[in-house]
Amino acid sequence: MAETLLRVAGLSAGVADKTILHNVDLEIARGEAHVLMGPNGAGKSTLGHVIMGDPAFEVMEGSILFDGADITEKSPTDRSLAGMFLSYQAPVEVPGLPLYTFLRTICQMRPELKTTARKFREEVGALADELDLDQGLIMRELNVGFSGGEKKKIEMLQLLLLKPQLAILDETDSGLDVDALSIVSKGIEAYRQRCDGSLLVITHNTRILERLEVDRTHIMVRGRLVADGPASLIGEIDAHGFEHYECELGDEA
């Protein structure tokens, strides 16, 4: 059996006066691709953020283990340095911080990615070409005034640059045109091939999954993982939606 990379056990989390995630159990093995689906507001993004240690959320119960270590109390920076990555559903704009400086700084923090300035520039340039990104974006302020599609592609560029062991992609496909969707799908494929990384793909759109071999699909409704199954579950959701799971959950808050 493949080695477990991420183990979320009995996780309940939320904000001060509100529990959003209820008793979530999730295991992702090294090299596996998992998909997380669920209706709007189910708690999918919250789960991604809590796994990554976003201080906006409080863990009320349970634990998160990554690569054998308990990281429940670790900072987002420590989790990132350990090999975890989250691409934001709504990437944040950071005025005053050039994208190039940001990329160079996060890579310099990782001994395995340290390289000369020239080689780094070449690598970033090659990735921008691969993602069909205007090279001019690299010197602009991080995400400031970027189009929705450009922001999502910059998240992909970071993924391919950092080569994390686990990537959580939160609706990386939303707002992309047909060509951009194809480029981002190829980027995900490249990530899988180049670093044999594990994936948790949060999506409403099954087109992004066409190029991806999915090992497991999870369904979240009202902060609970209510079902999981093989890749074929995605087709069932596409055809029938989440109503059946909502009904099964009944009146539970």
Ligand X SMILES: Nc1ncnc2c1ncn2[C@@H]1O[C@H](COP(=O)(O)OP(=O)(O)OP(=O)(O)O)[C@@H](O)[C@H]1O
Site for ligand X, rule CB under 6 A: 15, 18, 20, 38, 40-46, 56, 89
With CB under 5 to 8 Å by kind, the binding choice for 229 among Mg ion, ligand X, none is none
Q: Convert residues 55-94 into a mask of x (bound to Mg ion by CB under 5 A) and - (unbound).
A: ----------------------------------x-----
Please spell the DSSP secondary structure of the chain, one letter per residue. Answer: -PPEEEEEEEEEEEETTEEEEEEEEEEEETT-EEEEE--TTSSHHHHHHHHHT-TTSEEEEEEEEETTEE-TT--HHHHHHTTEEEE-SSPPPEEEEEHHHHHHHHHHT-GGG---HHHHHHHHHHHHHHTT--GGGGGSEETTT--HHHHHHHHHHHHHHH--SEEEEESTTTT--HHHHHHHHHHHHHHHHHH--EEEEE-S-GGGGTTS--SEEEEEETTEEEEEE-THHHHHHHHH-SHHHHHHHTT--
With CB under 5 to 8 Å by kind, the binding choice for 56 among ligand X, Mg ion, none is ligand X
Smallest gap from Cβ 38 to Mg ion, in A, equals 9
Q: Are strands 4-15 and 84-87 parallel, antiparallel or unpaired?
A: unpaired
Q: Which lies closer to ligand X via its Cβ, residue 39 or residue 98?
A: 39
Smallest gap from Cβ 38 to ligand X, in A, equals 5
Q: Which lies closer to ligand X via its Cβ, residue 43 or residue 83?
A: 43
Residue nearest to Mg ion (CB): 45
Q: Which lies closer to Mg ion via its Cβ, residue 161 or residue 188?
A: 188
Smallest gap from Cβ 45 to Mg ion, in A, equals 3
With CB under 5 to 8 Å by kind, the binding choice for 46 among Mg ion, ligand X, none is ligand X
Q: Are strands 166-170 and 84-87 parallel, antiparallel or unpaired?
A: parallel
Smallest gap from Cβ 61 to ligand X, in A, equals 17
Note whether 26 and 216 are within 8 A (CB): no
Out of 45, 87, 172, 203, name the contact with Mg ion by CB under 5 A: 45
Q: Which lies closer to ligand X via its Cβ, residue 37 or residue 107?
A: 37
- Interacting span for Mg ion (CB under 5 A) from 14-22, 40-48, 209-217, 232-240: 40-48
Interface ranges with Mg ion (CB under 5 A): 44-45, 89
